[in-house]
Amino acid sequence: MEASEVQSVFARARRAQAQWALSPVHRRREIMLRLHDLILENQVELIDLVQAETGKSRSSAFDEVIDVALTARHYAYRAGHLLRTKRVRGALPVLTHTTVQRSPRGVVGIIAPWNYPLSMALSDAIPALLAGNAVVLKPDEKTTGTAVRGLELLEEAGLPGEVMQVVPGPGSTVGQEIVAQCDYLMFTGSTATGRKLAAQAGERLIGYSAELGGKNPLIVCADADIDKAAHGAVQACFSNTGQLCISIERIYVHEAVADRFLSRFLALVNDFRLGHGWTDDVGSLISAEHLARVNELVEDAILHGARVLAGGRPLPDLGRTFYAPTVLIDVPPTARLHTEEVFGPVVYVEKVATVDEAVAKANDSSYGLSASVWGRELTARDVASRLEAGAVNINDGFGAAWASLDAPMGGWKDSGQGRRHADEGLLKYTESRTIAAQRLMPLNGPSLISRERYTSLLSTALRLGKRVLR
Ligand code: NAD
């Protein structure tokens, strides 16, 4: 698509949004509940499509089906409450009647990556649409088909035409036109692009939220159940072939249990079945270019002294984008993948002497998206509270926090800005309008009382109010 075509998409979206914003919230809710059912009914076709575009395993593709269904259901039931006009405490008790309304922002631009093409096409659009916005979505060029099919299902569920539109094309033209036109921008992708778009959104003074890269740590405490920790860790490192912003790329394991953990972890990795069937654990990477980058980072680490305990190479016999699940140790800080996100099936493991050392190492990163801690819950909670990350999973790799849709999800530091999920994941797509009606007496006092007397009365009222109104 050309940039000029995106402009006419926005013009049509604005017309459609004006009507959509007038529709009652219960009607929008019914559409999202129908979408929930349609996604589940059409799951086999959707999984086929996601697999054809990304090469991921079937069970990783099914995660997307579940994510969209859960999101549709969660926000369908939450939207009515969130969008209702709320009475809040006014400036002067009784005399100031204050309410807060929520209005849609207009046309929300969503720019999505390729790694979760169904989730990323629909799960951010659902709350934006429920809030009364139109949506213009640009999927990654490699995964346009899934986004288009997702939109078809939304329309089959009852979404009026042109309330949501998909604009395929490159970021540099189509993506940039979205940034120039939209009233709110939701971006998921790399930190480099996210930073650039943040500056542009800032220049336009539009709202912006972004989920970006991560270099997520997993800590195994001395009191962890080692078998469960090893199983959880392989899931956390290799789901979606590691092409997951919240997947684990660094493991810090207490020296008291390190040998046991490592041998169990490696046994599980060596047992992996690679392929595209239901029984396969790990699929292929998105593209040959991505494979080359993953391999380059691993070779750089080896060159700097890292040791390979598993994998460490492409698997051309299986297909041109298969890469062996890779476990490294002795990765020095000079190796690029010590700090850079790989976004592939590669993890390094380090022994630590204390929990404090594990926490310090986990936090020693410019990223702060997700983390995982394995241990007795009491110990693990204490460790979790010290981590600089938007989400910390205890005795789970990443899914527990992600699927807790009532809790915010997003990144500290270079991992993002704003949040998805939770109430703020819908409210960010609204503008608030405060309406305060002053009754009986103006805020600066009745005309019959002198200013001096009024300030003295007001000061007494403030002192009393501090005790009474909490
Ligand atoms: P990317 O930033 O290159 O591309 C993401 C999207 O932005 C694509 O649709 C692309 O076309 C578009 N884009 C690129 N340049 C643009 C520009 N100048 N203007 C407008 N749009 C532009 O990211 P990628 O490499 O394709 O995806 C992988 C990255 O995404 C990884 O760093 C990963 O951690 C991150 N990611 C984060 C999350 C999350 O939820 N935090 C989820 C998935 C992926």
Ligand 1 centre to CA of 113 (Å) is 5
Model confidence over 324-371: pLDDT tens digits?
999 999 999 999 999 999 999 999 999 999 999 999 999 999 999 999
Mean pLDDT on 35-51: 97
For residue 292, what is the domain's CATH number? 3.40.309.10
Tell me if 133 is assigned to some domain: yes
Residue pair 337/331 in contact by the 8 Å Cβ criterion: yes
| pLDDT of res. 114 | 96
Mean pLDDT on 101-123: 98
| pLDDT of res. 467 | 84
In total, how many domains does the chain have? 3
Tell me if 38 is assigned to some domain: yes
Tokens for 128? Answer: 């934006």
The catalytic residue among 182, 221, 237, 245 is 245
Residue 53 pLDDT level (bands cut at 50, 70, 90): very high
Compute φ and ψ for 206, nearest 5 degrees. -105, 155
What dihedral angle (degrees, nearest 10) is formed by the CA atoms of 193, 198, 201, 205?
180
Ligand 1 centre to CA of 349 (Å) is 27
Distance (Å, rounded) from C-alpha 432 to C-alpha 427?
9
Do 201 and 233 belong to one domain?
no
Do 88 and 207 belong to one domain?
yes
Nearest CA to ligand 1 atom 35: 189
Identity of residue 318: L
Do 35 and 158 belong to one domain?
yes
Ligand 1 centre to CA of 83 (Å) is 30
Annotation marks residue 245 as catalytic: yes
Place of tokens 């590691």: 242
Mean pLDDT on 200-213: 98
Distance (Å, rounded) from C-alpha 124 to C-alpha 135?
10
Distance (Å, rounded) from C-alpha 27 to C-alpha 35?
13
Residue pair 312/347 in contact by the 8 Å Cβ criterion: no
The catalytic residue among 64, 162, 177, 211 is 211
Please report how the helices 144-156 and 25-41 are oriented relative to each other, as an axis angle in degrees rounded to 10. 120
Residue 162 pLDDT level (bands cut at 50, 70, 90): very high
Instruction: Detail the DSSP E strand segments found in 353-468.
Output: 367-368, 370-374, 391-394, 412-413, 416-417, 430-438
Ligand 1 centre to CA of 293 (Å) is 16
Residue of 140, 293, 342 to mutate, ligand 1, most atoms within 8 A of C-beta: 140
Residue pair 130/79 in contact by the 8 Å Cβ criterion: yes
Does the structure show a pLDDT above 90 at 280? Answer: no
Do 191 and 229 belong to one domain?
no
| Cα end-to-end distance, the chain, whole Å | 56
Please give all residues whose beta carbon lies within 6 A of any atom in ligand 1, as ranges. 111-115, 138, 140, 170-172, 175-176, 179, 188-190, 193, 196, 211-214, 245, 341, 343, 369
Ligand 1 centre to CA of 244 (Å) is 12
Which is the closest atom of ligand 1 to the Cα of 116? 43
This prediction has a pTM of: 0.96
Residue pair 207/184 in contact by the 8 Å Cβ criterion: yes
Distance (Å, rounded) from C-alpha 218 to C-alpha 221?
10
Which is the closest atom of ligand 1 to the Cα of 170? 11
Do 199 and 233 belong to one domain?
no
Do 159 and 260 belong to one domain?
no
Do 324 and 454 belong to one domain?
no
Tell me if 370 is assigned to some domain: yes
Do 425 and 451 belong to one domain?
no
Do 198 and 54 belong to one domain?
yes
Compute φ and ψ for 216, nearest 5 degrees. -80, 130
Do 208 and 267 belong to one domain?
no
Distance (Å, rounded) from C-alpha 182 to C-alpha 45?
32
Ligand 1 centre to CA of 275 (Å) is 26
Tell me if 411 is assigned to some domain: no
Mean pLDDT on 19-31: 98
Tell me if 410 is assigned to some domain: no
Tell me if 412 is assigned to some domain: no
Nearest CA to ligand 1 atom 44: 189
Annotation marks residue 221 as catalytic: no
Model confidence over 132-160: pLDDT tens digits?
999 999 999 999 999 999 999 999 999 99
Does the structure show a pLDDT above 90 at 465? Answer: no
Residue 311 pLDDT level (bands cut at 50, 70, 90): very high
Residue 284 pLDDT level (bands cut at 50, 70, 90): very high
**By residue range, what is the domain housing residue 9?**
3-212+419-431
Do 337 and 426 belong to one domain?
no
Residue of 190, 197, 246 to mutate, ligand 1, most atoms within 8 A of C-beta: 190
Do 278 and 186 belong to one domain?
no
For residue 95, what is the domain's CATH number? 3.40.605.10
